[in-house]
Amino acid sequence: STRVRSSAASDVYKRQIMTVKPNIKKNFNITWLLLYGAGLITVGILVLVNGKIVVEPAARLGGIFIVANGIHRLIRAYARHQRLPVFSGIGNIIIGLISVFFPAATLALLSFIFSLYVFLNALVKFIDFGTALKNAVPDAFYDFFSGIFFTVFGIIMLFGTLMGSQGMLVVIGLYCIIYGAGELRLFIREAAPNKAKGIIRRRIRFSLPQVITTFIPLKTLRSYTERLDSREIDIEKLQNEERYEKSADTPDIHVLIHVSADGVGSIGHCDLVLNGTVISYGNYDKSSERLFGGIGDGVLFKADFDKYINFCVYHDLQMVFDFGIKLSEKQLAKVRKGIAKLERNITCWKPPYQLATENSPIADIADFDDYCSSLWNGTHARFFKFKSGRFKTYFVMSTNCVFLADYILSKAGTDIVKTAGIITPGDYYDYMQSEYALPGGIVITRDIYSKYNVSPTET
């Protein structure tokens, strides 16, 4: 079975609670929520009243930071004799200088990019509408009306960009106010007596912009890898460095966020783990792929946790972040009920290599280039397809791995991420990390699995 050098993967539920200055850390997090939320609301109001007073200085200051980051990348590239950071550093410097000297142009460009993003959301919802009709999903017309909304909003933003940047200032101002209000609600939740915390629960979480959250796991991976490869720190110290004092209870369900250094894996992937079994969803049937692999038959699989972690680390070259969630008995029962509902709508499906081995004992995995065959060969996972419903068709921008995880966990009534458009593993990572940092958050453990602490499976 999988061996872990610094802490056994099979002992994922056992935790070491850090006791150094716990009250200081707790009070800092709660105070930060208050200051951050109030500050965002103040900035939002100022932007709505007179946006240029806030936005232009912010653009110049942001440009200075971007230039500084570019210079840092050039120095690091020179010291390590690497080419890629050179181009990245030069690009950062150019973008930063434009932002410093032409803040109005920067805002106009951001407004135009935001308009394109809104149109992309509209396209996603219209594709969702088409697949929902095909799969006889009851609330299919919700996607259609969402697509209309995004289209109209995109046109308004685009015309606002052509006539000036006022529309973008309104969006920024409202965003800051709504996001700040969400942080204040978190402050109230954490500062309230224990009996009141169950009442003050958000059903909708207004997250950071997706241009930020999408790449948070990748940025974290690169930061950790740089420190670990340079031997600045080892994996055990790294985990202890970011560990918060939490409940010593055993997590009831785990969320896994995967990320690799390049390719599609840099966007990440999301799974759930219940009782040592991984539950995952994706576009694993290569024969059904369309739109460059963005659409296909939705496939759910179940795999042993240890075998799967080993496969992810050594076959997919990933780092896996494991967030353990504590639920009440009532919440856990609802989660199990949600999983049972999914299982009533699935039928067994076998990857090509599995079928080949059943027909011929001399079948060779080298003859199969599809991912699910490699996954079955490495984990002996069980695969299933959906008979009907929204999950019957996978779509990378909406009905994806995160959507399934959110569907299951939302049955518990927890304040998990809800978005009207695109949702990525980065959204979930951002949410899980923030819940882990909160003293009263539902995430009570956080582990990392990688080549630094997981040894290859012995055969």
Residue 198: its pLDDT value, please?
Answer: 45
* Gap between the Cα atoms of 32 and 284, Å rounded: 42
Number of H helices, E strands in the chain: 15, 12
Q: How big is the chain, counted in residues?
A: 459
pLDDT tens for each residue of 86-95: 777 788 889 8
Given CA atoms 126, 131, 133, 139 in this order, what sign does their dihedral have? Answer: negative
Decide which of 452 and 113 is more confident.
452
161 band by pLDDT with thresholds 50, 70 and 90: low
* Gap between the Cα atoms of 227 and 337, Å rounded: 42
Q: Which of 261-270, 318-327, 375-384 has the lowest mean pLDDT?
A: 261-270
Residue 382, C-beta contacts closer than 8 angstroms, at least 6 positions apart: 301, 302, 303, 348
pLDDT tens for each residue of 14-49: 444 343 444 555 566 677 778 877 888 888 888 888
* pTM beyond cutoff 0.85: no
Residue 265: its pLDDT value, please?
Answer: 76
Write the DSSP string, 257-312.
EEEESSGGGGT-EEEEEETTEEEEEE---GGG-BTTTTEEE-EEEEEEHHHHHHHH
pLDDT tens for each residue of 202-231: 444 555 666 667 778 888 887 888 788 878
Average pLDDT over residues 53-66: 83
Residue 164: its pLDDT value, please?
Answer: 57
